[in-house]
Structure 1
């Protein structure tokens, strides 16, 4: 009995069979009662010791079992076959005992009274223990390797049934997905109804289950549609929860989540590129400003000198105009980079839009006259207030009027108007500022393109504009919570600004 202390796996298993036989032998002797030398207490102590040793050896055996992996070679059996074969081995001694009792005509009671019966029970217990260990070791090996369910017949049946269900419910074949479940449902209803009351009850239960299934499918699909709408509205982080989904809702949800991830990746890449462009523009503009300031100062010093050469004076004038133009372009570039990167401070206060327009027209009076333009300003009320940043809103109006002076047809009127309207979506009261002018050159640029950077209506690029004025105006308007629109009608160029009235915006 010392063999179970060894490290040999076969010795451990043999010792376990011997211990099982010893336990059965001792129990049989106790049951026989007569002719035993030791007392019952001593027998129980021996049984307890043998049982502890048996459990120890069983634990040692289980630790030595190697997991059954997917790539292992050999004869792999189904889980149910293992249980069946082990059960057959365990049943053989019992069947043999009853068969011998029946064939010999000796009853079970008389057989149990024979002196050799304890030894027969010991042999039977060893055989039954072998069958039990076969089941235990095989199932433990599959369990450790994660193949207990994979190698079962029930798993194959479930997989086949699931495959059939998926074939009739996925998006691969619309005809099969629609008509096979429908016809199956109708046939089952007819068969159940013909069975009488019991069949009718079962049909009602089946119909209720199908209705619940359809309701859950539609409910989950409504959730998927809601996520799609959220992604459409800008919430690209929203995801469909795949738990509890069934049938074709699963690939649909996976596709929606993939779309959201793709959009998020594209947005992040675009934002990163925009930031890099903005940083590049800012750095280059700052590097240009230092030598440009020196050039402007030296040109100014040269203008103060009494130079008799007329051609040199003309050169200086050209340098003065071009250097100032380059300075303005550099400042516009810096401002565009700040706006696009979000590095601007917005402080909203109540502003009388009518007064702001009148002040701006007063400042640009000479420039408008020089461009031979006549400004006509009409307003619905003398006090039309909006919540905006005064400095940035003035810059928007300044860019619009500068744009008018550069590109309007000389000798025409510029119409400006301030009116109220109700927003179509929110119903809130809005102040609308519109500017209309006639372009000096043909406008062959799309409305949306005019607000892009470095885009000008003058495609010949003979005017002094940088192509940044409208882009700056649009971004500043949006940053203050307003809306910027451009409308073209032939040579009529219209810009419209929409701001919530001060009362509506403060309530919001």
Structure 2
């Protein structure tokens, strides 16, 4: 009887001790969470008294803390990106608008010859068209990035599509004194995707190459067992490794001295469309300052 009583006391002491330690650990965890939530510390939960279930709970809480930190960092990044985008679009709107208003004043109040009037009217028209393109591109990008942007997948003969796009740029290549080097295989390459989206992506990449190339432009269509690629490369002395991280950001211009060369949204639109189609678009820079845009769609065997 005495033996049973001793055992009962030992068991009771064990459970009371365990209960006390668990309760103390809960208080300690509460204090750590309180300090974390009130930004007094960045430290995650750590345990002194180890219990299997409590340890698992701490692991899940720490995982949630990591997710919250990542979400906050992403939110901050998005906010900074939005602020930068607003600042950039404000600058890009204000610059031609100031020019337009200035020349309108000349036209209204100046004693101008017919030739000067035609010249100033042409400048005003050019600035207005630039604003129109900017606003249309910005609107298009916002539509593309919306969750319900429609895509209609069809069978695309990529050989024909790439050639059709390049023919459309014939005059612009001539104006820039560029001779494109084109590599398109004889075998027919079929891609299942949205034709208008694919066309817009390639057009934007070709247009970017024409505007910023310091030499010839090379366009290559390739197919492997796992992917279809459109690779567009051009010499770009103004591009650095630092620029590669930001090339697809809205309004980013690697060469700040080039004004009137576009809205700075073409590559962002191309990147967003590729993401929507489940493809990939990225840039590489070779040692000879050759910028390579690689547009890739994964395909099955």
TM-score, with structure 1 as normaliser: 0.43
For 2:242 and 2:122, how far apart are their aligned partners in 1? 33
Query: Are 1:255 and 2:52 matched, yes or no?
Result: no
User: Structure 2: any 5+ residue segments left out of the alignment?
Assistant: 1-8, 25-50
1:134-173 alignment to 2 at 5 Å? 157-161=14-18
1:418 aligned to 221, 225, 228, which one? 221
The aligned residue for residue 318 of structure 1 is 123
Residues 335 and 165 from structure 1, CA distance in 2 versus in 1: closer, same or farther, beyond 3 angstroms? closer
The answer on whether the counterparts of 1:371 and 1:405 sit within 8 Å (CA) in structure 2 is yes
1:394-433 alignment to 2 at 5 Å? 394-409=199-214, 412-422=215-225, 429-433=226-230
2:180 aligned to 375, 389, 403, which one? 375
The aligned residue for residue 6 of structure 2 is none
User: Deviation digits for residues 199-218 of structure 1, max 9, x if unmatched?
Assistant: xxxxxxxxxxxxxxxxxxxx
For 2:11 and 2:208, how far apart are their aligned partners in 1? 78
1:192-211 alignment to 2 at 5 Å? none
User: Deviation digits for residues 242-279 of structure 1, max 9, x if unmatched?
Assistant: xx943533322321133335545766x579969xx69x
The answer on whether the counterparts of 2:210 and 2:217 sit within 8 Å (CA) in structure 1 is no
Distance apart, 1:164 and its partner CA: 6.8
Distance apart, 1:404 and its partner CA: 1.3
Q: Find the residue that maps to 1:395 and give its secondary structure.
A: helix
Residues 450 and 264 from structure 1, CA distance in 2 versus in 1: closer, same or farther, beyond 3 angstroms? closer
2:294 aligned to 496, 500, 503, which one? 496
Residues 247 and 442 from structure 1, CA distance in 2 versus in 1: closer, same or farther, beyond 3 angstroms? closer
Residues 166 and 249 from structure 1, CA distance in 2 versus in 1: closer, same or farther, beyond 3 angstroms? farther
For 1:247 and 1:478, how far apart are their aligned partners in 2? 42
Residues 273 and 405 from structure 1, CA distance in 2 versus in 1: closer, same or farther, beyond 3 angstroms? same
2:251 aligned to 454, 470, 473, which one? 454
For 2:204 and 2:54, how far apart are their aligned partners in 1? 58
For 1:326 and 1:447, how far apart are their aligned partners in 2? 27
Structure 1 or 2: larger strand share?
2
Query: Are 1:388 and 2:186 matched, yes or no?
Result: no
The answer on whether the counterparts of 1:454 and 1:468 sit within 8 Å (CA) in structure 2 is yes
The answer on whether the counterparts of 1:350 and 1:386 sit within 8 Å (CA) in structure 2 is yes
The answer on whether the counterparts of 2:243 and 2:254 sit within 8 Å (CA) in structure 1 is no
2:277 aligned to 480, 500, 503, which one? 480
Structure 1 or 2: larger helix share?
1
Q: Find the residue that maps to 1:416 and give its secondary structure.
A: strand
Q: Find the residue that maps to 2:53 and give its secondary structure.
A: coil
1:79-478 alignment to 2 at 5 Å? 157-161=14-18, 245-246=52-53, 248-263=55-70, 309-409=114-214, 412-422=215-225, 429-439=226-236, 441-443=238-240, 445-478=242-275
The answer on whether the counterparts of 2:227 and 2:297 sit within 8 Å (CA) in structure 1 is yes
Deviates more, 1:444-453 or 1:157-166: 157-166
The answer on whether the counterparts of 1:349 and 1:387 sit within 8 Å (CA) in structure 2 is yes
TM-score, with structure 2 as normaliser: 0.70
Structure with the greater relative contact order (CA < 8 A, sep ≥ 6): 1 or 2?
2
Distance apart, 1:446 and its partner CA: 2.5
User: Structure 1: any 5+ residue segments left out of the alignment?
Assistant: 1-151, 168-243, 423-428
Residues 419 and 455 from structure 1, CA distance in 2 versus in 1: closer, same or farther, beyond 3 angstroms? same
Residues 324 and 382 from structure 1, CA distance in 2 versus in 1: closer, same or farther, beyond 3 angstroms? farther
The aligned residue for residue 68 of structure 1 is none
For 1:442 and 1:252, how far apart are their aligned partners in 2? 45
Q: Find the residue that maps to 2:224 and give its secondary structure.
A: strand
Q: Which has the larger radius of gyration?
A: 1
The aligned residue for residue 33 of structure 1 is none
Residues 153 and 340 from structure 1, CA distance in 2 versus in 1: closer, same or farther, beyond 3 angstroms? same
Q: Find the residue that maps to 2:152 and give its secondary structure.
A: coil
Q: Find the residue that maps to 1:433 and give its secondary structure.
A: strand
Residues 271 and 389 from structure 1, CA distance in 2 versus in 1: closer, same or farther, beyond 3 angstroms? farther
The answer on whether the counterparts of 1:380 and 1:418 sit within 8 Å (CA) in structure 2 is yes
Residue correspondences, number: 247
